[in-house]
């Protein structure tokens, strides 16, 4: 192997193909979900604790900061779920050709964008 | 060496399988909860607690929580192995993550089983 071949490690100067974007978003959404696990379990705790804490949780939903946090959490969940289902389908040996896989990545991005927008509208 | 010590099953193929099985459980659980939530609007405290008092739902919840622990272990291990090059720092992060995951499991189990 030539040792002096040019190496470009600056990701920002490389035009990323759509499947690469779909893949890195799957990872990013996964890490976000891990970091927000305490939020999900805290919400479970509040919602099941008592009628008082259930109502308090509903009331805290009117605070914009909490809405934003919940929107990030649920959008990450929606993206991770859609991208994960795409993975499971491809593991079955379906849609393994490059054009189909690229199309599936586009669909993943479009469907989760629609879900994220719907979640935003619902939370507003 | 460190890679195989901190990975969930110490086998790439088995990690892969665990990741898929837990993914299916988690996807089923999330879709079920979202469906239950959307079909019962507006959600009331009584209906919400009745759901988690159901024995089948408690088992489903436990399976989902266990899946959460293993799915996140494999996923975060994969991401850390790719991006964190310092072995000591990576080992520390994996330990913190795994301990947090089991703490979350205990916390959530206490919530659902604490329901009268």
Report the pLDDT averaged over residues A105-124.
Answer: 92
Residue B1 has pLDDT above 70, yes or no: no
Buried b (16+ CB within 10 A) or exposed e, A33-68: bbebbeebbeebbbbbbeeeebeebeeeeeeeeeee
Average pLDDT, chain A: 89
H-helix segments, chain B: 2-6, 12-39, 45-53, 55-83, 87-113
Cβ neighbors of A45 (< 8 A, separation 6 or more) are: A53, B107, B111
pLDDT value for A2: 59
Q: Give the number of residues written for chain A.
A: 124
User: Which residues in B lie closer than 8 A to residue A56 (C-beta atoms)?
Assistant: none
- Place B27 in a pLDDT band, splitting at 50, 70 and 90: very high
Q: Which residue has the higher pLDDT, B65 or A16?
A: B65
Q: Which residue has the higher pLDDT, B14 or A84?
A: A84
Q: Which pLDDT tens digit goes with each residue over A73-107?
A: 999 999 999 999 999 998 888 888 888 888 888 99
pLDDT value for A96: 82
**Domain spans, chain B:** 7-113
Which CATH number describes the domain made up of A17-123?
1.20.1300.10
CB A40 within 8 A of CB A72: no
Please report how many Cα atoms fall inside a 13 Å half-sphere around the Cα of residue A5, on the Cβ side. 6
Q: Do B23 and A37 touch (CB under 8 A)?
A: no
How far, in Å, CA of B25 to CA of A8, rounded? 41
How far, in Å, CA of B26 to CA of A102, rounded? 26
Nearest to B104 among A41, A47, A85 (CB): A41
Q: Is B23 on the interface with A (CB under 8 A)?
A: yes
Residue B84 has pLDDT above 80, yes or no: yes
Q: Which pLDDT tens digit goes with each residue over B63-72?
A: 999 999 999 9
Architecture of the CATH domain B7-113: Up-down Bundle (1.20)
- Place A61 in a pLDDT band, splitting at 50, 70 and 90: confident
The vertex-A88 CA angle with A106 and B52, nearest 5°, equals 110
Instruction: Mutation target for A interface from B19, B45, B112: give the one with most A CBs within 10 A.
Output: B45
Q: Do A54 and B108 touch (CB under 8 A)?
A: no
pLDDT value for A16: 81
Q: What is the least distance, in Å, from the CA of A65 to any CA of chain B?
A: 22
Residue A1 has pLDDT above 70, yes or no: no
Residue B89 DSSP symbol? H
Q: Do A48 and B49 touch (CB under 8 A)?
A: yes
Q: Do A34 and B108 touch (CB under 8 A)?
A: no
pLDDT value for B3: 60
Average pLDDT, chain B: 90
Chain A residues touching chain B at CB-CB below 8 Å: 27, 30-31, 33-34, 37-38, 41, 44-45, 47-49, 51, 54-55, 77, 81, 84-85, 87-88, 91
Residue B2 has pLDDT above 60, yes or no: no
pLDDT value for A12: 75
Report the pLDDT averaged over residues B29-42.
Answer: 93
Percentage of chain B beyond pLDDT 90 is 65
Q: What is the least distance, in Å, from the CA of B1 to any CA of chain A?
A: 24
Shortest CA distance from B48: residue in chain A: A48
């Amino acid at each position: 192997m030539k040792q002096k071949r040019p190496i470009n490690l600056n990701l920002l100067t490389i035009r990323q193909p759509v499947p690469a974007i779909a893949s890195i978003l799957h990872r990013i959404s996964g890490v976000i979900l891990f970091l927000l696990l305490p939020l999900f379990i805290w919400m479970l705790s509040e919602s099941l604790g008592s009628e008082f804490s259930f109502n308090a949780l509903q009331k805290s939903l009117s605070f914009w900061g909490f809405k934003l946090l919940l929107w990030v959490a649920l959008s990450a969940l929606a993206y991770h779920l859609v991208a994960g289902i795409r993975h499971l389908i491809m593991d079955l040996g379906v849609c393994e050709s490059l054009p189909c896989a690229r199309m599936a990545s586009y669909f993943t991005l479009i469907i989760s964008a629609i879900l994220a927008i719907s979640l935003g509208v619902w939370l507003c | 060496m460190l890679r195989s010590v901190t990975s969930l099953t110490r086998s790439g193929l088995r990690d892969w399988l665990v990741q898929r099985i837990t993914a299916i459980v988690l996807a089923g659980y999330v879709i079920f909860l979202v469906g239950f939530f959307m079909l019962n609007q507006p959600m009331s405290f009584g209906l919400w607690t009745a759901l988690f008092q159901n024995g089948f739902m408690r088992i489903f919840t436990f399976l989902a929580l266990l899946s959460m622990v293993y799915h996140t272990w494999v996923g975060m291990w994969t991401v850390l192995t790719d991006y964190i090059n310092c072995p000591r720092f990576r080992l520390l992060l994996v330990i913190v993550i795994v301990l947090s995951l089991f703490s979350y499991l205990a916390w959530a189990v206490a919530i659902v089983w604490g329901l009268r």
